[in-house]
Structure 1
């Protein structure tokens, strides 16, 4: 494993999850993903091992092409050379998808030194290029993705048809091949029981609402991912603008709900968030699901200036450092029982809320 990848795995927080971007108190991050395939090669779902290996071999040089362009260091990694634990830590850090981690044979990854750019090779498509930015910043994410796409397309023949656009494994990605999404924290809309209506309206507007790790996952910690569903017939800027406009409306709804809680249920809200803070500060054992739920309430208390004993970035950091696979890596790659994992998670949270680091 490369030093670059080791450093990414050990980081408690990456720049795109720093909370410093626009609307960063509610929108944790923005992501733009482009799906691309090589012309003349069968899509990964129908390809034999030999074809998949040919794709990996051809795209290996992309890491050098990108490094020469922007000065960042890029690493090329064949997934089947990595331990399962390493792959699933990368899932928790949103570097690769759960599907990519689960089927590592004949698959690879190119990742930038700050994890702001990663390219999954032979996931559902030959290339799944993603660019991440802190806060609501889809425009910069798209600009970077397009710049990288231009570099790749200059030297590699991609599957493209004039009347269909980029050809992809899933018909919903035809056209631009663009899937844009934001990761958004909506505790007040959940507490005021408005989230169901928000999700329904957002879906009617042609967007998808998913959980923390995308399709098929739950909205743990009141964190949701909102993304476009269809790319064919829409240009990139329209997709970005539509998603940004809807997200801004959701952010406004969340802010209104927070103000409502702070004015109409001030004492009950203060009691709730301080109880969550107290449990996390002193608990000796806490599950992954409970940790996210309590951390969400603590972050709400911090944002509303009810809690003044922790910084907002602690929430973003603990989103990563309390995940099961990260904990196992932190414990020296030791296989942890559920009890041991819960105890270690509680220790890390206690230490962090007291201003320490995640040493174990």
Structure 2
């Protein structure tokens, strides 16, 4: 039932819409909150965690933002359902492994999810496509305010919101973007970028957060500190770093095209050919190939509408989604074969790339640097 609900409606995570975002795929804000005078989930006995779940689940589900949404206890979900929720960034890997006394509430459009009894009692998350810190923060703040009218949060006048991990104390906020940085990867500049932003208190991780790789040249970039700054200051500081990274990516793209365009065209052409004709694809390979096609969209080699297909495939090529579309749980070899077949169908009507950049597309899809965060 939950899987049908997840796939039955339009998802903010898999539908990029008409927004043209050459670098920033998604913007996310997550707030950590805990109930006052209640042990954190990692220290609480199961009976206390169940009490928290029984208190928080209906409170979250009753919010106007969650109308006609999905509410579930994690232990009631199958392994495949949990995996799909992780792949869609609706729950964390940690929550997926917490089968007892844990839950999640997800909004109808899947732009909002609230995890219960992960590391903290509540993890409020808002995620939207594109570079949209203003609307994402407004949505997260509204949910936080509404819940605080029903629940008594653990708060210190000196420290701010109290959290299980000391790095979250203060605002309890993690602001992040998912960024597509193929030129920095191809030109071997990402390591330098990572070192530089780490010194500024900014973390760089893979698509699925800490411990995940950066398949598809997709990186999750977020603040590391939450104490001593307001939410607005955190977003402002992060946005400044993100604008610099965007500029570096766009400059790297120009240099690649000036230095050896045929090498790039060959990569993009091969990626297109493999996606249309392969019979075995791993999820990592699929993401890397799709990344090159997305790069081609930015360079006007493919119609703008191809971007929507690629952005959706970043999620749907993951193991859980492949098994859902296959209609059964299958081993890795069978997944690779089904994934290749699925990609062939998705890309069979994608027109061949135009390598002569003097030719113009029928659509106005000139790539532009990402705009300011407040694009709503």
Q: 1:177 aligns with which of 155, 159, 172?
A: 172
- Aligned partner of 1:262 in structure 2 is 257
Encode CA deviations 1:24-60: one digit per residue, 9 max, x unaligned: 2210000000000001110000010000000001012
- Aligned partner of 2:35 in structure 1 is 38
- Aligned partner of 2:186 in structure 1 is 191
**CA spacing shift, 1:146–1:330, aligned 2, 3 Å:** same
1:293 to 2:291 alignment: no
- Aligned partner of 1:18 in structure 2 is 15
**CA spacing shift, 1:188–1:206, aligned 2, 3 Å:** same
TM-fit CA distance, 1:23: 6.3
TM-fit CA distance, 1:273: 0.5
Encode CA deviations 1:245-275: one digit per residue, 9 max, x unaligned: 1111111111111111122211121111101
SS in structure 1 of the partner of residue 63 of structure 2 = helix
- Aligned partner of 2:58 in structure 1 is 61
More helix by share: 1
Aligned residue runs from structure 1 range 76-225, under 5 A = 76-225=71-220
- Aligned partner of 1:341 in structure 2 is 335
SS in structure 1 of the partner of residue 306 of structure 2 = coil
**Runs of 4+ that moved beyond 6 A:** none
- Aligned partner of 1:320 in structure 2 is 315
**CA spacing shift, 1:331–1:23, aligned 2, 3 Å:** closer
Gaps of 5+ in 2: 351-376
Cα distance in 1 between the residues matched to 2:51 and 2:18: 39
Q: 2:346 aligns with which of 324, 347, 352?
A: 352
TM-fit CA distance, 1:307: 3.8
**CA spacing shift, 1:21–1:45, aligned 2, 3 Å:** farther
Q: 1:75 aligns with which of 52, 70, 74?
A: 70
Cα distance in 2 between the residues matched to 1:22 and 1:248: 18
**Bigger Cα displacement from structure 2, 74-83 vs 14-23:** 14-23
**CA spacing shift, 1:351–1:309, aligned 2, 3 Å:** farther
1:48 to 2:45 alignment: yes
Number of paired residues? 350
Cα distance in 1 between the residues matched to 2:140 and 2:199: 28
- Alignment check: 8 A CA contact 1:212 1:223 kept: yes
Gaps of 5+ in 1: none
TM-score (norm 1): 0.93
1:249 to 2:227 alignment: no
Cα distance in 2 between the residues matched to 1:277 and 1:23: 21
**Bigger Cα displacement from structure 2, 29-38 vs 305-314:** 305-314
1:226 to 2:221 alignment: yes
TM-fit CA distance, 1:6: 2.5
- Alignment check: 8 A CA contact 1:172 1:230 kept: yes
Cα distance in 1 between the residues matched to 2:229 and 2:19: 25
Cα distance in 2 between the residues matched to 1:64 and 1:50: 21
Encode CA deviations 1:212-260: one digit per residue, 9 max, x unaligned: 1001111111100000001010100000111111111111111111111
Encode CA deviations 1:74-114: one digit per residue, 9 max, x unaligned: 22211100101100110000000011111221100011011
**CA spacing shift, 1:128–1:183, aligned 2, 3 Å:** same
Cα distance in 1 between the residues matched to 2:54 and 2:132: 33
TM-score (norm 2): 0.89
SS in structure 1 of the partner of residue 126 of structure 2 = strand
Cα distance in 2 between the residues matched to 1:307 and 1:269: 14
- Aligned partner of 2:325 in structure 1 is 330
Question: Aligned-pair RMSD on alpha carbons?
Answer: 1.8
Cα distance in 2 between the residues matched to 1:64 and 1:322: 30
